[in-house]
Amino acid sequence: MPREITATIISIGDELLIGQTINTNAGWIGMQLGLVGVRAKRVVTIGDERQEIMDSLGEADTDIVSITGGLGPTKDDITKHTLCEFFGTTLEKHPEIEENILAFFTSIGREPLEVNRAQADLPASCTVIPNTRGTASGMWFDTAKQKAPTAKAKVYVSMPGVPGEMKRMMLDTVLPEIQRSFLPPHIVHRTILTTGMGESHLAQRIEGWEDSLSAERIKLAYLPSPGTVKLRLSAYAETDPEAAIHRINSKVEELHGLIPELIFGEGEQRMQQVVGDLLKANGQTLALAESCTGGYVSHLITSVPGSSAYYTGGVVSYANAVKMEELGIPSDMLELNGAVSQPVAEKMATGVRTALRTDWSISITGIAGPDGGTLEKPVGTVWMAVAGPDGVWSKCEHFIGSRGAVIQRSALASLDMLRKRLLHQA
């Protein structure tokens, strides 16, 4: 196996140290480097201070140093000047970058200031990395071409701290260039999305399958979050990437055979997208009747662009009066069973489906807490129902966690119920 390639991630910005901005860039960069076979060894977060930046550049003893932040046009952004000092170089005007900057300002209908034009002044000894989303260029320093006796790493890459700009630059230029320059061991990944079972029970359930992975030289990572567990399979491609892809694919197929009811998607998919795509493919529509989730499922559905093609709307029936008047729940049904019950959940689903004349509907009624629980129906008790062309299905769950966690788990579980019905009918 080839030698391990390592990286240091330096994040620059006063706002990160005082907790005004959470440093999400470092984790994302670490993950992306991992996906191309480079191990992030250390993240160093510092303020916009010359000495701190110089020290951090000099200390980094990895192959690659990734630097983000401090490239804005204002005085407090000093990364570019400090890089010049570290590498013993000076700034020079890049006319093609200046043109890009002027074009960018024209496109947003504003006049560039002198400080904006100055963003075309870049270190003479670096390779400039174009920024397709903003005016701060990235910089790639190959140490072999620099006067930097204290530099221990082979390559230093400086990128803007704005996440959208950095990510584009990383994916389009930096990661491909790292793969070309370092030939890290090629790694193949697939990430399988599951819901409906916690991490430890899932691990027990697929124990035998997991044990069989090592013979195929596949690594497994569990990535849990409330309501879902992602399973990431990784294999080194060694000399033959096709063979690694084949090894992973056949293990994923086995997994689909083992836990078909738990897998809802793959990669970067989200549940609301999976459900939306199924509805769109069927040419069918959806309505919602939410009680304890208070509009959160509706928010998830409508966070997907284009959701108006299949989502007509919903009713948030927080008060019992709304359940009766908008959804047609009989008052004696509420009195007899309570609002958190199977008959009420089912009637909410059929009621909203009829009122909004859709093909499908979901209803949720439960106790999100922290108050409102009883001995018989403790906090976390949630009834969910799905109504469709062929009938109505319902189930009860007892979720644990905070009010926010119960809401999130209820949303995922109810969307997954609908997903299964949509697949079942297909």
Segment (H or E) for 26: helix 25-35
Figure out which of the listed residues 321, 378, 389, 391 binds its own copies, where binding follows CB under 8 A. 321
Per CB under 8 A, 307 contacts its own copies: yes
How far apart are CB 145 and its own copies at their closest, in Å? 29
String of contacts with its own copies for each residue 205-234, x by CB under 8 A? ----------------x-x-----------
Binding flag, residue 31, its own copies (CB under 8 A): yes
Query: What mask, x for binding its own copies by CB under 8 A, covers residues 42 to 71?
Result: xxxxxx----x------x------------
Binding to its own copies by residue 294, rule CB under 8 A?
A: yes
Q: 82: burial class by Cβ within 10 Å (0-12, 13-18, 19+)? A: buried
Token pair listed for 169: 């630059």
Looking at the Cβ atoms of 120 and 296, the one nearer to its own copies is 296
How far apart (Å, rounded) are the C-alpha atoms in residues 71 and 97?
15
Report the residue number, 120 or 411, with the smaller CB distance to its own copies.
Answer: 411
Site string for its own copies, 369-398 (x = CB under 8 A): xxxx--------------------------
Instruction: State the first-to-last Cα distance of the chain, in angstroms, to the nearest integer.
Output: 46
Amino acid making up residue 382:
V
Distance CA 426, CA 424 (A): 6
Stretch that binds its own copies, among 180-188, 238-246, 259-267, 400-408 (CB under 8 A): 400-408
The DSSP line for 200-239 is HHHHHHTHHHHHTTGGGTEEEEEEEETTEEEEEEEEE-TT
| 163 sits near its own copies (criterion: CB under 8 A) | no
CB 295 to its own copies: min, Å:
3
Q: Which position has the token pair 């018989």?
A: 376
Q: What is the 3-state secondary structure (H, E, C) of 381-425?
A: EEEEEEEECCEEEEEEEECCCCHHHHHHHHHHHHHHHHHHHHHHH
Q: How far is the CB of 91 from its own copies (least distance, A)?
A: 27
Evaluate whether 67 touches 12 at the Cβ level (below 8 Å).
yes
H helix or E strand, kind and range, residue 337: helix 331-337
**Residue 194 binds its own copies (CB under 8 A):** no
In angstroms, give the least distance from the CB of 12 to its own copies: 11
Collapsing DSSP states into helix, strand and coil, what is residue 142?
A: strand
Q: Is 75 in the site for its own copies (CB under 8 A)?
A: no
105 binds its own copies (CB under 8 A): no
Tokens found for residue 406: 């119960």
Minimal CA–CA distance to 29: which of 132, 166, 165? Answer: 166
- Contact status: 74 vs its own copies (CB under 8 A): no
Residue 281 found at the interface with its own copies (CB under 8 A) = no
Largest CA distance in the chain: 84
Nearer to its own copies, 128 or 401 (CB): 401
The site that binds its own copies (CB under 8 A) totals a number of residues, namely 68
Binding region for its own copies (CB under 8 A): 16-24, 26-32, 34, 40-47, 52, 59, 221, 223, 288, 290, 293-299, 301-303, 305-308, 311-319, 321-322, 325-326, 355-357, 369-372, 403-404, 407
